[in-house]
């Protein structure tokens, strides 16, 4: 029970007696401290303002050869799908198609990355090798899979409309216009390119020399991200390179780009007026997993705001997790969810509170730097009923003839502030004062701190 001491003094002017501000803060206990834990099991206790790390931050080839690890996105595609554990058919054998195959996880751009395999393209008609159109290669983006379908195709290489944080790295089959004898339609020569989304179009950042590709054949490729440097603003600058081998000759392009720390990666193909049947085969991968924070927020059910036991705010915990993993928080004495990749215990409720509920697990999303983090979990605690006590005693200088008024109690909940200026409480406190006396001063039982005069002044008129 919180207690506030009230001193009574003999009054020579009953009409000027006054009720002063009375407030009591009910006793609570706040959890302190911060821990950094590598989660070796599915259940580690969280600490307010602490950080935990799920670990397991490396991708392997088997991850990139698992169909369920991708979310295909198609525009005007037909027949797309996996033809084997390592080969995906983009479904682009018609004009004006876009086929994006983003990996559900993300890659950590502070580590080197290599991806190797083979691209395939087959077009019909006269001189089909010059009419493959338009793009077949690797997708690198800061967007979620749900945001890719608006990508502009054709010569925009599937990255137009997707912003400057999206890149195409691969075979640009429409790089340079090219006419051949007896072919009355315009064809193109191919180049290995790195292209960046630029408004509705694509900006070519670097390109290899042009070549005429072999039709109806596979071209071995390798993509690498090397020499990454983490910048002071959290972005990463490194060198992106792509090599395509055509008829025994390597065509390589390379350039420096700056990206956010966690990026989504995958494969893509796009066509315009020219089109071809296109596919990709993945045969080698080394990459670090992209990581994003999951914020765990602590709320008071009575206020809907941040939990602040005893005036000390419980800052959110942070879970560093791989993009695509499912993260959950369970009750302090609960058990993990079988469908989650990682689960963590909520902190034990502080004194005066009880655990109430936790929001649903989240599947960690990648998101552009500087935008709102969509990865949020809320843990709620309910304040328990409490009683605040107000005791009376006479000022040492006062003539003490009446009996001391009895203890007065008021009900509330943990961390609720009771103010004597509230009409009902004011009336009850004043009703205990004997005739001829007034409230001289009020002190808190917590440290016996007397209220300052400036705190008392606004309430001197209440009982005039």
> Do the beta carbons of residue 119 and residue 280 sit within 8 Å?
yes
- CA nearest neighbour of 353 among 46, 48, 29: 29
Question: Is pLDDT larger for residue 414 or for residue 27?
Answer: 414
- Give the Cα separation of 370 and 363 in Å (integer): 20
pLDDT in tens, 188-233: 999 999 999 999 999 999 999 999 999 999 999 999 999 999 999 9
Residue holding tokens 């390589």? 252
Q: Return the structure tokens found at 281.
A: 């085969």
Residues 367 and 357: their CA atoms lie apart, in Å, by: 27
* Residue whose entry in the numeric block shows the structure tokens 């792509």: 242
Give the tens place of pLDDT for each residue, 68-119: 999 999 999 999 999 999 999 999 999 999 999 999 989 999 999 999 999 9
Rounded to the nearest angstrom, the gap between the alpha carbon of residue 255 and the centroid of all alpha carbons in its chain is: 30
Q: What is the pLDDT of residue 392?
A: 81
d(CA 182, CA 440): 109
Per-residue pLDDT reduced to its tens digit, 37-58: 333 345 689 999 999 999 899 9
- pLDDT at position 196: 98
Percent of the chain exceeding pLDDT 90 equals: 64
For the chain, the farthest-separated pair of C-alpha atoms sits apart, in whole angstroms, at 123
Q: Are 48 and 347 in contact (CB under 8 A)?
A: yes
Report pLDDT for 101: 98
Predicted local distance difference test score (pLDDT) of residue 41: 47
pLDDT mean over 307-327? 94
205 phi, psi to nearest 5 deg: -85, -30
Residue 134 preceded by cis peptide, ω within 30: yes
Rounded CA separation 377/328 (Å): 8
Residue 26 vs residue 341, higher pLDDT: 341
Give the end-to-end CA distance of the chain in Å, rounded to a whole number: 31
CB 83 within 8 A of CB 48: no
| Sign of the alpha-carbon dihedral angle for 336, 339, 341, 346 | negative
Token output for 296? 């765990």
Helix (H, G, I), strand (E, B) or coil at 249: strand
**In this predicted structure, what is the pLDDT of residue 168?**
98
Q: Which residue has the tokens 């001197």?
A: 460
**Segment 422-447 mean pLDDT:** 71
Output the pLDDT for position 64.
97
Q: Which two tokens stand for residue 6?
A: 């009230």
pLDDT score, position 421? 59
Lowest-pLDDT range of 62-66, 91-95, 365-369? 365-369
Dist. CA 43–CA 328, nearest whole Å: 10
């Amino acid at each position: 029970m919180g207690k506030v001491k009230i001193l009574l003094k003999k009054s020579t002017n009953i009409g000027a007696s006054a009720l002063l501000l009375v407030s009591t803060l009910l006793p609570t206990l706040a959890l302190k401290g911060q821990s950094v834990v590598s989660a070796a099991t599915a259940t580690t206790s969280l600490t307010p303002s602490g950080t935990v790390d799920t670990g397991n931050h490396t991708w392997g080839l088997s991850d990139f050869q698992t169909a369920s690890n991708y979310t295909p996105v198609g525009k005007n595609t037909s027949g797309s799908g996996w033809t084997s554990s390592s080969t995906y058919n983009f479904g682009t054998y018609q004009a004006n198609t876009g086929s994006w195959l983003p990996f559900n996880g993300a890659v950590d751009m502070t580590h080197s990355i290599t991806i190797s395999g083979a691209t395939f393209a087959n077009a019909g008609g006269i001189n089909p090798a010059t009419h493959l159109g338009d793009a077949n290669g690797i997708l690198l983006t800061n967007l979620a899979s749900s945001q890719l379908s608006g990508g502009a195709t054709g010569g925009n290489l599937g990255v137009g409309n997707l912003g400057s944080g999206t890149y195409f790295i691969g075979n640009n089959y429409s790089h340079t216009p090219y006419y051949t004898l007896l072919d009355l339609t315009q064809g193109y020569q191919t180049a290995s390119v790195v292209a960046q989304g630029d408004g509705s179009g694509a900006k070519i950042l670097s390109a290899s020399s042009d070549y005429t590709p072999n039709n109806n054949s596979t071209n071995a490729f390798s993509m690498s991200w090397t020499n990454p440097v983490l910048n002071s603003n959290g972005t990463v600058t490194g060198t992106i390179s792509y090599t395509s081998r055509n008829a025994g000759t390597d065509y390589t392009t390379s350039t420096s780009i700056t990206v956010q720390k966690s990026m989504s990666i995958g494969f893509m193909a796009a066509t315009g007026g020219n089109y071809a049947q296109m596919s990709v085969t993945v045969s080698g991968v080394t990459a670090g997993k992209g990581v994003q924070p999951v914020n765990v927020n602590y709320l008071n059910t009575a206020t809907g705001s941040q939990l602040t036991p005893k005036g000390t705010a419980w800052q959110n915990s942070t879970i560093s997790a791989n993009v695509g993993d499912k993260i959950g928080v369970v009750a302090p004495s609960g058990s993990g969810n079988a469908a989650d990749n990682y689960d963590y215990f909520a902190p034990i409720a502080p004194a005066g509170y009880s655990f109430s509920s936790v929001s649903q697990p989240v599947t960690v999303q990648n998101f552009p730097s500087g935008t709102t983090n969509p990865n949020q979990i809320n843990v709620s605690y309910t304040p328990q009923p409490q009683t605040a006590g107000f005791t009376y005693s006479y000022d040492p200088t006062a003539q003490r003839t009446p009996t001391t008024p009895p203890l007065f109690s008021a009900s509330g909940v943990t961390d609720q502030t009771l103010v004597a200026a509230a009409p009902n409480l004011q009336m009850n406190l004043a009703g205990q004062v004997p005739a001829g006396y007034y409230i001289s001063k009020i002190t808190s039982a917590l440290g016996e701190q007397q209220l300052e005069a400036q705190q008392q002044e606004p309430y001197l008129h209440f009982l005039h």
